[in-house]
Structure 1
Amino acid sequence: MATQFYDRLSNDLTQLLESGINSDVSIEVNEEEVPLVNIYKVHSIILQFRSPYFKKKCDEITFNENHVKVLKLPNISVKVFNVIIKYIYSGKISLEKLENSIIFDLLIASNELELDELVEHLQSHFVNNNASWLYLHAKLFWGPEIVNEEEVPLVNIYKVHSIILQFRSPYFKKKCDEITFNENHVKVLKLPNISVKVFNVIIKYIYSGKISLEKLENSIIFDLLIASNELELDELVEHLQSHFVNNNASCRNTSKIQNQFWEHVYSWLRLNFAQVYRTSYQVKNFIIIQDFCNDVITKYPNTIFESENFHSLPEDALVSILKQDDLQLEESKIWEYVIEWGKAKNPMLPNNLDKWTSDNFLSLKKELKGCLPYIRFFSFSNEDVVEKIYPYQQLLEHQLFSDITIKFIAPNKPISSTVLPPRNILNTTLPTRITPIPNEYALMGSRDGFDIKTIYNICDKVSKIIIILKVNGTGEILGGYNPLERHTIENFPRSLEFCFGSALRLIGNLKTEKRCCKKIADYCKPWEIESRFSVEEYEVFKISPKK
C-alpha cells in the first residue's frame, strides 16, 4: 500500500510560490480601486498542468528579454487571485472568512481560468449556503436573461446566473447549452407558458431552496406545479403534489377564518377537479396527484362523471377509473357515462339511436375499445340488460353479448366469457329495523312525505330530536341533533326551514327541491355532497329515557 504525503507536497509547493525561485511567468493583476498593479511571479510548468486556460496562454505568449512570459488578468481582483493562485499551487481553499461577493467573483474567475474542480466546489458551496444572497444581488451580475411573457404586452426580465440555473435544473442546463450568447454576452431564454407570479416563486426557490405556499391561491399552486415539472425541478414537483393532496384531502379543525379558507380550497378543487385529473395523466411525474384523484373518484364518482369537463378526459384516465373495484357507482350508470363519453368523442353521430347505421356503431366501438374490457356487464340487473345493453349490442363482441343473454335467461348455465367480479359498493341504505320501535314522533320520508311542513307539524314543541338523511345521488349519510324544543314561528309556513344550528338546513320539499344545504367545515369530507342537495330518504326520532 502506497504511503501518501499530500500535506508535505502542498506545503512545499506553497513555499515555492512564496519564494518565486526559478519563476518564468509574471501575472499582472489590477489592485482594486487604485491604479496599482500586483505582480505574481509564478511557474509555467505548474500553471499549465493545473489550468487549460494557462496552458493555452503560455503557448501563445513569447518570452520577453528577461526570459519571462507576461500575462495580464484585468478582470480578476487581487483578493480573488490570491485565493486562486494558492489553490493552484497547494490544492487547498478556505471560504470561511470570505464575503459572499468575493466568493461569487471567485466563482466567475475560476470559470474563466477553466478550473473545473474549483468551479464545481464553489457552485455547491453557493447553492447549499449562500444562494439567497445570489438572488438578492442578481441584477449586479451578467447572466442569462429569462424573459417571461404574460397575456399583457409587457415582458418581465430576470437577470440570473447560468451556473446556478444549470446546477439546479436539468431543463436550464440543456437550454444554456443550446443557446448562444448575444452581442452583450448574454443568453436569452423565453418562458412564454409561465406567468410572472409563478416564476417569482420558482426563481426564489432555485436560489434560496425555500418556498412558502401559505398565501398562494390553489390555482397559482397548480400552475406552479405544472411549471416546476416543465423546468424539471423534481424536488419541488414532489413537494407541491404532497402539499396539494394533503391540504385538499380532509377537513381541518380550525378557526372560523381558517374554515372559510378551507371551504374556498375545496370549492376550487371541486370546480377544477376534471382539469387536475386530466393533467395528472398528461404529465408523467404527477403520480401522487393521480393516486389522490383516483381515490376521490372511487369514493365520489360524480366528482368526475358529472363534471362539465368529463368529455375531455383522456382515455387512459377513464380506463383507470373503470379498473377500480371500489368505484361507488352502479355498473349500469357507469355504462351510461362511458357511452356518453364515447359519443362526445364522435360529435357526428346521430342523436336518435334509431337512425344509427352499422358504421355509426363501429365508430363508437373503436372509440370505446380501451374501455369495454373493464365494464362489469354481468353485474347489470335484468332490467338494465334490456334497457341499456341491448340497444348497444353491436358494440360488444358476439360471444360476449351471447353470454350476457344466456346469464339473463339462464343464470346458472356456464359461459365462456370472462366474468369480472362485481364492484365493492358500500351499502349506504338506512338499515331496516327488525323490531319497530313504537314512537309517536318517528318520521320516515317514504312513509310520511318529504315536505318540510310535515316535520314542523310533528316536531313542533318537541325536544331531543335526531334526524338522519340520505343524500340523493351520492348516498352520503348526514344527521343532526337538537336537544331543545322547537316552536312554530310567527311567519310559518312562509319560512320553510328546519335548521340544526348553522351546520344543516332543510328547506322546502326535501326530495324534489335541491335546496337543502350543509356547512362544509362541520362535516369532515368536502367531497361528500354539493353545497345544495336533495334527500333520497330521511328518518326523524325522539330520544326517550330508557325504561
Structure 2
Amino acid sequence: MNDYKLLPKLSQNLLEILNDEEYYDITIEVGNDPYVKIFRAHMVILCYRSPYLKRILSTNKKKNDGTLTHIKLSGISPENFHIILRYIYGGRLSLEEYDISDIVKILDAASKLSLQELINYIQSYLVEKKANLLEQNFNFIYQTSFENDSFLKLQEYCTDLISKEPVKIFKSLNFSSISGKLLTSILQSDNLQTSEIQVWEYVIKWGLAQNPELSSDPTKFSDKVLPYMEILPKELYMDLLKTFLSRSDLNSKPNNESKPHITKEINSRTVDSKIITYQHVELISKWIDRLEITDWSTPYEFKLLFRGSRDGFTSDDFHKFCDSQSCTVTVAKVKDTSEILGGYNPIAWRSDSGFGSYDTTKDSFIFSFKNNKIENYILSRVIDENHAIYNSDFCGPTFGNDDLNLFDRLFSLSDRRSISKKNSYDKSIRETEDKFYVEECEVFQIV
C-alpha cells in the first residue's frame, strides 16, 4: 500500500481538530481595529508548523492556572489568516478562486509567518499557472517581489521577463505606473524585438502618465519629436518625424485602414514556415491584439508545433503534437490553388471522443489569403462564441461548425479532405463551400 494514500484522512482529521471547540489551548487575535477576529488553535501544531509562531509562543509560556494563551497578529487580514490556518493544519490550499491581488496577500501572510514551503508553492503556482496575469500586472509583481527577500522565484521571473521579453511589459495593464529605474532597465535590454518608433510611443505614453498636464494629442508630433532633435540620432529623428507627420496630415485619407503596410525591418525577419512569410506573421499578430494595422514590427514569435509534411496529416497526428497547447495559429495551403486558410485559437486543443464538444471564446478568428498577395485577405471573427472551437479525435483543427475543418476523418481517413462554410464566424473565407484538399498544414504557438 502506498503510504501517501493515508495522508488525505490525516489532513481531514487535523482540520476537524481545528474546528473543534473543546481542546484548543490558545486564542489568536488577528487584524486591526475595527476589523478583528479571534481564532482558536493548538500551540503544539502552531509551534511545529510555523517558525515565526514558535518564536512568539516561546515568550508566552502556557500558564498553570488554566487560562488560555492569547497572542495578537497585526498586518494580516482575518480572511487570509483563516486560509493560512487551514494550510497549517491540513496542508490544503486552493488558489483558483482568487485574483492576483488576493494571492499576493496570501503570499505576504505566508512570509510573515515564515512558512517557506507555502511561499515556494504560491510562487510556483503564479509563475506556472498565472503567467498571463503576472505579465498584465507586471509593475505590481515587480515591486512586491523585490520588497521581500523570500520571493526569489518571482524576482527571477521578473528579471527574465525584462531581459528576454521586455515588450510584454510595455503591454501590461499598469505599464504607465512603473518606475523610471525599471523603464530604464527595459530600454537597455538587448532583446526588445520591436522598432525604435514603437518604443518611442511607449516611452511617450509613460511620460504623459507622469506629467498629465502635457497634451496627449497624438497629432501634435512636435511635442513628441522636435524637442529631442539635438539628442536623437539623425536617422531615428527623421523616421519619427515622417511617422508623426503622416499621422497629423488632416487632409490625407487612407486607402484602406484595414490593409497592412509592411516595412523593410519586417522583411528582414523570418518564420519557420513553408506556407507563410513574416509579413503574414505581422498581420496575424495585429489581428490577435485587435490593433490597427501599422508599419511596426510585431512582438510575437511563431513557434512551430506541427507540420503535416513532417509529422503526418491525420487528425491523430495533429492532436499528438497540439493537444493541451493554447494560443495557436493554424495555417493550411489549399492544393492546386494559391489559397492560404487559417485560424487563431486562444484556448487549448483537445481530442474529445464520441461526438466531440465545443469550446467557448470571443477571441478566435479565421482568415484566408489569395493569389500569393498579403493584401488579398479575409478576416472573419467569431460571432457564435459558444461554438467557436470544436474538439474531436476525429477532426484536425476545427473552427466553428465547419467554418474551417481540416482533414476530418468523417470525410476520409487519408486524403486530407477539408471543408469551410460559414456558420459560427461572421464571414465566409472562401468563395465556394466545396470540399478541398490540404497540400500543407502548420500549427504555431504564439510566444
Larger radius of gyration: 1
Instruction: Tell me which interval the TM-score lies in, with the shorter structure as reference length.
Output: 0.3 to 0.5
**Greater strand proportion:** 2
TM, length-normalised to structure 1: 0.39
Q: TM-score, normalised by structure 2?
A: 0.46
